[in-house]
Amino acid sequence: METSKTFTDLPLGNLVATAEQLKGDGWRCVQMLCVNTDAGIDMTYTFAKGGDLANYQVRGVTPDDTVPSIQHLFLGIFPFENEAVDLFGVCIQGMVLDFAGQFYAIAEKEPMTILTPEAKERKDKEAKQAAAAAAKAKQDAEAPSEEKASGADNDIEAKLAGMDPEKAAKVRAALEAKAKKDAAKGGGE
């Protein structure tokens, strides 16, 4: 028996109509999962019929969005919708079985939307590197041709911009001391 697995982006406003259509065509809703992304919460609804799976992705749900429940069509989705409320802070309205944010006994409100220190550090480092690369590109574009010859200095500055500020200050101080020493020797290496 041949099976298929599809992934389709679905606007939030089309969720209920799509679920109604799938139910009418004999599909079952077997799960809904959430993933925290930079754009918000991505919600993936999985429907099954025979050996086929159809995944519909509602992307970038924010705290300002209201997601309609599909429990009235697929009661078995109640744990997934309550989980989305408790762990991700998604506002889902019209749930048949609504645990009002008490489905899980958790100490932290919406724990899946909180960045770990490692993830925050990684995001901050990526942002610094991107800013440094943009600054270098701008500087290269604006620099006269003789300044472009000092590309090595620009490369060092770009690397320093992505470093921990304390380490970068130490490296700059060491480079300045070396430059002064070289200048005192007459510019030799």
Selected residue with higher pLDDT from 148 and 66:
66
Alpha carbon distance 131, 133 (integer Å)? 5
What tokens does 56 get? 């519909």
Q: In which band, very low, low, confident or very high, does the pLDDT at 1 lie, cut at 50, 70 and 90?
A: low
Alpha carbon distance 72, 15 (integer Å)? 13
Domain residue extents for the chain: 5-113, 117-184
Alpha carbon distance 144, 27 (integer Å)? 65
pLDDT at 80: 94
Q: In which band, very low, low, confident or very high, does the pLDDT at 103 lie, cut at 50, 70 and 90?
A: low
Reported as a single tens digit per residue, the pLDDT across 44-60 is 999 999 989 999 999 99
- Cβ-contact 97, 71 below 8 angstroms: yes
CATH superfamily, domain at 5-113: NADH:ubiquinone oxidoreductase Nqo5 subunit (3.30.460.80)
- Cβ-contact 104, 87 below 8 angstroms: yes
Alpha carbon distance 176, 157 (integer Å)? 13
Selected residue with higher pLDDT from 163 and 86:
86
Residues in the chain: 189
CA atoms within 13 A on the CB side of 87: 15
Reported as a single tens digit per residue, the pLDDT across 121-172 is 777 788 788 888 888 888 777 766 555 545 667 677 777 777 777 887 888 8
Alpha carbon distance 176, 54 (integer Å)? 61
pLDDT at 149: 45
Selected residue with higher pLDDT from 148 and 20:
20
Alpha carbon distance 114, 147 (integer Å)? 44
